[in-house]
Every structure is written in C-alpha cells, then in structure tokens.
Amino acid sequence: MAYWLVKSEPSSWSWSQQVAKAAKGEAWTGVRNHTAKLNLTKMKKGDQAFFYHSNEGKEIVGIVEIIREHYPDPSDPSGKFVCVDLKADKPFKTPVTLVAIKEEKALADMELIKFSRLSVQHVTADQWKRICKMGGL
C-alpha cells in the first residue's frame, strides 16, 4: 500500500469533475513528464492519492483511489506515456492548503514543496497521516 499526490489545475480537471465520475472512475491522462510517469508506473490498484488543486486554491481537496494500474495513455499519440484510472474516494472536511503544509515543520521535506512542478508525487505514510488529520479525516 503506497500513498501518492496528484495535481490538477481546476480549470482543466477539478475535484468536482472527479467526484462526478466516482462510480466508475476516470482515466488520469495527460502526464508528459518522465519522473511523473515513473511514479504512475509504481502505483498499485488500491493505493490512495491526495488530489491537489494547483494555481486556483493551492490546496489538497480530497482523496482518490487507484482503481486501474498503468496502461498506455490514449491521449498520447507517441504511445510513450501512461495513465491510471482514479476514482474519488472522499473529500477533506477542511482542504489542506499549501500554506498550511509549509507551516508544518514535519512536512517540510514533502515533494510538493521541493519539486513543485512534479505532477505525480510520492507521499510517505507519515505525511499521509498528518495531512489526513489536518484535513479532518
């Protein structure tokens, strides 16, 4: 069981859109970065991930579950990149903002802060627990 964080700009794909697909999940496509791709390939069915809104909000708004492991991204004509299927699990009672994460010393080494441009990131079990608590779960 591993934990992850995926980022999306709400203007292109938001949490509410993810929730709307809750029953059958939705392909998480469009990753065009090799580090992010590497993380996608490590995801296992049943793993959980934070859903982060970049630019607008800059906060973690909920949790998604990986329901299908990596396969070729249908939106990539070169066939080099992969995607996974995610379904919305549950929303945070209180969104956890980037500011709040930065203020929490125990989370200072999160990839979210260190590699802000990476769109698929690994989260440690300790970071996961802390952020869930901050989110009211």
Partner DNA sequence: GCCAACGTTGGC
The span of 16-24, 38-46, 111-119, 129-137 binding DNA (CB under 7 A) equals 111-119
Nearest of 124, 49, 39 to residue 90 by alpha carbon: 49
Interface with DNA, residue 9, by CB under 7 A? yes
**107 is written with which tokens?**
């989370």
Exposure letters 22-43 (e unless 16+ CB within 10 A, then b): eeebbebbebeeeebbebbeeb
Q: According to CB under 7 A, which one of 32, 68, 87, 90 is a site residue for DNA?
A: 32
Least distance in angstroms from the C-beta of 46 to DNA:
25
Interface with DNA, residue 14, by CB under 7 A? no
Interface with DNA, residue 7, by CB under 7 A? yes
Q: Which is nearer to DNA, 45 or 80 (CB)?
A: 80
48-53 β-sheet, strand order:
26-28, 82-97, 59-72, 48-53, 3-8, 120-123
Q: According to CB under 7 A, which one of 55, 71, 109, 136 is a site residue for DNA?
A: 55
Interface with DNA, residue 130, by CB under 7 A? no
Give the binding site for DNA (CB under 7 A).
Answer: 7, 9, 32-35, 54-55, 58, 98-99, 102, 115-119
